[in-house]
Amino acid sequence: PPPPQTHVDVAEEGGGEEGQADVLGQGELLPDAPHRQDSGGPGVLCGGGHTGVRGGCLCPPPALPKAGVSPWGPAPPPAPACRAAGSPAPSASRRPPSPARPPPPPPRPPAPGGGSCGGTTAGSSPPAPAPARAASGPGGTAPAPALRGTGAVGAQRTDAPPQPPARSEPPPPQDYLWVPNEPPIDLQFQPSGYLFLASQRGAATLEAGVKLQREEGAKVALLSPSQLKAKFPWINTEDVAVASYGLENEGWFDPWSLLNAFRRKAMSLGVLSCVGEAKSFTMPAEDEMPLMAQDRVKYVNVRLPDSPEQQPVACAIVVAAAGAWTGELLETATAGLPGGSPPPLPIQPRKRYVYVWHCPDGPGLECPFLIDTSGAYFRREGIAGNFLGGMSPPEGEEPDTGDLEVDHGFFQEQVWPRLAHRVPPFQTLKLRSAWAGYYDYNAFDQNGVLGRHPRLQNVFVVGGFSGHGLQQAPAAGRAAAELLLHGRCGTIDVERLAPGRLLGGEPLREAAIV
C-alpha cells in the first residue's frame, strides 16, 4: 500500500481565483487547490485540523450554523479529535461537499459585573474560542440590583429614545433567551399597565411625555380624573389632574428568573461566569507602551472567594458593567493617568427600600403599577391581597449605602401616609416584610451610559440606568456587543447615551424614574 500522506498546509501558497479555505470539511478533496502530495494523492484536511491517509481521516464534518440562524444563536460544537487514520475512509463521492468554515470571531472581553447588563453584553457576542469572564464589581458581596427590584417593565419614558436605523419588529425573545435542548424559563410575567398620576403642576410634563411615546409607537391612554375614577374606582382622584395608562407591553416579572435566563444563555455561548470581586484595574508600565497607549487597561484584578489574593485577568477590551459600583471601579483605573485623571463618571449606588404589605380590601386583579403624584408607587403581588411598593427619598436625604438595613420608619412616616391618601383601603394595611437594594444611579441625568470610556481606550461602559437596567438590558447588551465587534451599532443607535455627554455637560434627562 502507498505510504500515508504527511501533514500539509492546504492554503500555504495562497488561493487562486476561487480562493482557498484554511479549514475544510472532513475528507473533502481539493483537486483545484495548491498542495503538496507525497503519495500521488491530493492533500486532505479534516474539520479537526488533521490529515489522514489517502482519502482523509474518519472525523465527521464539523457542525456549521445553518443559513438564517441568528449570530446570537447556539455556538457550533467543537470539532472532535481525529479518529484512527489507518482504516479506509468512505468514498469522497458519497459525501456532499462541506462549505468553508467562517473565520473565528474575536475573543470575548472580560465583563466585570455579572448582572443583567453584563450578562447580556457577554451573551450577545457571537460564539468565540476565548470566553468572556463575568465578575461582580467592588460591591461583589452584595446582591445584584436586579434581584432586589420590583421586576417592572414599561414603555412610558419622557426622553426621546435612541433610534434604530430602520423601523422593524423587535427581535423574538429566543434571540437572547433561547438555549437549544433546554426548556424555556418561566419569567412569571404579569401583564398590567403603568399608571402615572400627575397633579396640575406636572400635567404638562406628563402630556408631553405621552405625545412622545405615541410617536414612538407606544399605546398609552390619557385619562381625565372622571375617566380614571370610572376605570379604577378605588383611587382617590381629588388632586389628580391627568393620568397616563399603558395599554400593552407593560407589567412585571420575576427578576431572579430573568437574570438566570440571561446567564444561562450567555454560558451556552461559551461565557465563563466567574464568582469574584473585581477590585481594580492594572495599566501598562511606562516602559511597556508609548505614552498614549498607557490609557489602556492591561489586567482586571479579581479577588476570588476564600482567597485574600487578587488574580489578574489579561484583557484587550473591558466591559465595565458593575452596576452601582461601575463609577467606583473606573476610578481605580483613571487615578494617576498621564496628564491627570478625568472627572469620575457619576454612576453611584443609591439605596432603595421595597416594602410588602397585606390588605385584603385593597385593589383586585385589575391593579396596575401605580406611580402617585408624590412619587410613591405600588403594585399587586400575587392574588392573595399582597402588595409591594416604596418611594425614593427626597433629594439631599439619601440613606447611607454602607449596608442593606431597612428603615421601617421611612415607611411609617413617608410612604404609608401617601398610599393611604391615594387608596383609602390602605389605611388598614399590615406591613409584612421589606428589603433594601441599590440603584446604579446616574446622578447626572438618570439615564443609561453606554459606549467607549472618554479616556480609557479599551474600556466600554454599560451602566447608570437608574432603576431601568433590567428592562433595558437586552437592548443595551446587544448594542454594546455591536460596538465591541464592529465599532458601531447596527441594531439601534445609542450615540446619545455615550459617556462623552457626562463630561460635556449635555444631560439627557429621564423624568419617569420610580
pLDDT tens per residue across span 122-138: 766 654 434 444 455 55
- Those residues with Cβ within 8 angstroms of residue 92's Cβ, 6 or more apart along the chain or in another chain: 27, 28, 29, 55, 56
Domain 107-153+169-189+252-346+443-514 listed as CATH 1.20.120.400: no
Nearest to 320 by CA among 497, 115, 490: 115
Beta strand segments in 90-231, E: 111-112, 133-136, 152-153, 190-191, 194-198, 220-223
Dig out the grid coordinates for 449 from the structure.
451610559
Rounded Cα distance, 474 and 150, in Å: 18
Type of residue found at 457: Q
Kindly report, as residue ranges, where domains of CATH 3.30.9.10 are found in the chain: 194-249
What angle, rounded to 10 degrees, do the helices at 255-268 and 116-124 form?
30
Exposure pattern of 233-262 as b/e (b: 16+ CB <10 Å)?
A: ebbebeebbbbbbbeeebbbbbbbebbebb
φ, ψ dihedrals at 272, nearest 5° = -95, 115
Type of residue found at 307: S
Rounded Cα distance, 450 and 498, in Å: 5
**Which of 42-51, 113-122, 152-161, 502-511 is predicted least confidently?**
42-51
Taking CA 299 as the corner, what is the angle to CA 298 and CA 300, rounded to the nearest 5 degrees? Answer: 140
Query: How much of the chain exceeds pLDDT 90, in percent?
Result: 31
| Residue showing cell 446616574 | 442
Q: Is the pLDDT of residue 31 over 60?
A: no
pLDDT in tens, 258-316: 888 888 888 888 888 778 888 888 888 766 666 556 688 888 888 888 888 898 988 88
Kindly report, as residue ranges, where domains of CATH 3.50.50.60 are found in the chain: 107-153+169-189+252-346+443-514
pTM metric for this prediction: 0.71
| 241 vs 256, residue with greater confidence | 241
pLDDT in tens, 360-369: 999 999 999 9
Q: Please, what is the average pLDDT of the chain?
A: 74
Rounded Cα distance, 109 and 476, in Å: 16
| 455 vs 200, residue with greater confidence | 200
Could you give the count of Cα atoms lying within 13 Å of 67 in the half-sphere of its Cβ?
Answer: 1
pLDDT in tens, 459-496: 999 999 988 888 888 888 888 888 888 888 888 888 88
Q: Looking at the domain that runs over 194-249, which CATH code has it been given?
A: 3.30.9.10
Rounded Cα distance, 178 and 72, in Å: 10
Type of residue found at 263: R
